[in-house]
Structure 1
Amino acid sequence: MGIKSFQGARKQQSATEDSPSLRVSDYMSTNLITFSPDQSIETVMEALIKHRISGGPVVNEKNELIGIISEGDCIKQISDSRYYNMPMQDRTIKDHMALNVETIDGNMNIFDAANKFLEAKRRRFPIVENGKLVGQISQKDVLKAAMKLKGHNWK
């Protein structure tokens, strides 16, 4: 009489099953605070303070990315309004946002994204699919990904 094993059949593990995802889309923020070009500088400043963010994407009514507005853009407007003695109340962000927005591919490796942050000296990159804004990756998101992946073989 032989020895019987009571251990059931083992599930075959694929090589990728154990390894964590390294794609930007798995770490990007999708619940974004966005702005429209006709918002006033003051309402944007209020939103930046309230949500504790340093900037955000500007989209049109079709959710297409048309710019980025940042704390720096708002600070420049504050400085200009004082220097030129021009009130800010009615100023919209369309003339003060950055228009040449560099985006990042959601399928990009998170470590390639980290390198892109170093090269571009940016705080955030929007992710666009089929012309629509789908998310944003920040430097903090890359830090979170690195901590989550700590101890794994990064290839």
Structure 2
Amino acid sequence: MGIKSFQGKRAAPEKPQHVPMLVKDYMSTNLVTFMEHENIMDVAEKLIANKISGGCVVDENHKLIGLISEGDCMKQISDSRYYNMPMDDATVKKRMTCNVETIDGNMNIMDAAKLFIEKRFRRFPIVEYGKLVGQLSQSDVLRAASRLKANDWHP
């Protein structure tokens, strides 16, 4: 007669379920946005007040038309001081980046992280049906990564 175990039958170890981590789950939706007619100095003040480095430029229908950053504002201020030009007509339209690269809200957050590294961008707008719905920043990606288990990169 053989030795019997009193532990009972062992269940197979559970495989962790892979739950996709999507951009739309981590993007910011309460955005500070700008209009192209705004003065650069007003934009700079909003950036400082909201502790952000840039933001999306939208039209009256909330359609994305560009991005404006601290660097864009600094360039305008520097040029105005250097060339002794007034700042009254220094608008977002004259300094914003117009060819904006966007990402899909259904993209995996780790694929977005790779894009941040490749493109060296600080933010990616997310557009649905032509309208701005959110923005993903590098800190949003870091927040998502902090929820991952270091060993298997699954939530």
In which range does the TM-score fall when normalised by the shorter chain?
0.7 to 0.9
1:125 aligns with 2:124: yes
1:1-150 alignment, distance < 5 Å: 19-150=18-149
Distance 1:43 1:20 in 2: 42
Counterpart in the other structure of 1:6: none
Residue 87 of structure 1: CA displacement? 1.6
Work out whether residues 30 and 136 of structure 1, in 8 Å CA contact, stay in contact via their aligned partners in 2: yes
Deviations 1:6-62 (A, max 9, x none): xxxxxxxxx89x544410000000000000000000110000000000000000000
Q: Which segments of 5 or more consecutive residues in structure 1 lack a partner in the other structure?
A: 1-14
> For residue 108 of structure 2, what is the amino acid of its counterpart?
N
Structure 2 gaps, min length 5:
1-14
Q: Is the 8 A contact 2:27 2:135 kept in 1?
A: yes
| Superposed CA RMSD | 1.7
CA distance in 1, matches of 2:67, 2:74: 14
Letter in 1 for 2:29: T
User: What does the per-residue CA deviation read over 1:89-120, in whole Å, with 9 as the maximum and x for residues that have no partner?
Assistant: 33211010000100011111100000000010
Larger radius of gyration between Structure 1 and Structure 2: 2
Say whether the 8 Å CA contact 1:36–1:60 is kept in structure 2. yes
